[in-house]
Amino acid sequence: MFGQDTSYHKILPNNDEYITSNSVPRRSPHIATSIFYPNMLRIFIYSNIKARRGIYDDYNWVNSSLDVIGSLEKAGVKIHVKGMKQLEKFDGPAVFIGNHMSTLETFALPSLINPVKRVIFVIKKELATYPLFGRVATARDPIVVGRKNPREDLQIVFNEGAEYLKKGRSIIIFPSRTRSSKFQSSTFNSLGIKLAQKNNVHVVPIALVTDAWSNGKRIKDFGKIYTKKDVHFEFGEPMLIEGNSSEYHLKTVDFIKQKLISWGREDLIID
């Protein structure tokens, strides 16, 4: 099902839910990690070659995303996805807003969203210059922010975001200041809500748990793979922002918190 020859978006489009087969063995972190990263290196190299040639298009992006999901499953990680039908409830682009826990969601979300709503990310400047990954990331026309001047970043997201939304491109925003294994609502800003309201497009909340791919001690993107921790993604009800935007921000925060609790991961909620 997965790999470089994967047909465009086989994983989910006609289903609301996806769960990894129970036949996938749970492996020790050492074995899972040793299985996963050689596959990731292959995916990085393959995608980088495509990006260098200027052909890292939607098809190749989705397929490499599926390849990452497949590689995680082969390593022993069980993945749950729910709420895909939410993406089909409205016309036009949207702003997708989710918590940001690990590197995993950056690689997995394109295959879940892009075949239904063509999408781009808001990313940090450091990612755009990252070895191997930087070329791939910039090939997908992200909105790049510096994270040093919040006011300047706000204008970049508003200005470039408006242009992309007018062209029919959806946007994925992780509003937390930085990637974290915990969810802290006080650091979860309302930028995505304001962008959606200003451009009269829907907001789709995303709740996720991805700490099976842990943050590394020396290099943050390369932590151990823990197969006893299931991966969860769930898309919430689309919301068109009317009136007080803070109410919709609170709804998004509450959706994420409630899903973390329902997955038995209330330990990840700080406030």
Question: Where do the domains of the chain lie?
Answer: 25-268
Average pLDDT over residues 244-249: 94
Is the model more confident about 168 or about 135? 168
pLDDT band of residue 132 (cuts 50, 70, 90) is low
Report the distance separating Cα 40 and Cα 74, nearest Å: 12
Residue linked to tokens 């700490």: 211
pLDDT at 9 over 60: no
Who wins on pLDDT, 5 or 263? 263
Q: Is the pLDDT of residue 205 over 50?
A: yes
For residue 22, is pLDDT > 80? no
Whether the pLDDT of residue 155 is over 50: the answer is yes
Between 202 and 10, the higher pLDDT residue = 202
Q: How far apart are CA 43 and CA 268, in angstroms?
A: 30
pLDDT, tens digit (0-9, with 9 covering 90-100), for 72-129 = 999 999 999 999 999 999 999 999 999 999 989 999 999 999 999 999 999 888 777 7
Q: Rounded to whole angstroms, how far apart are CA atoms 150 and 175?
A: 12
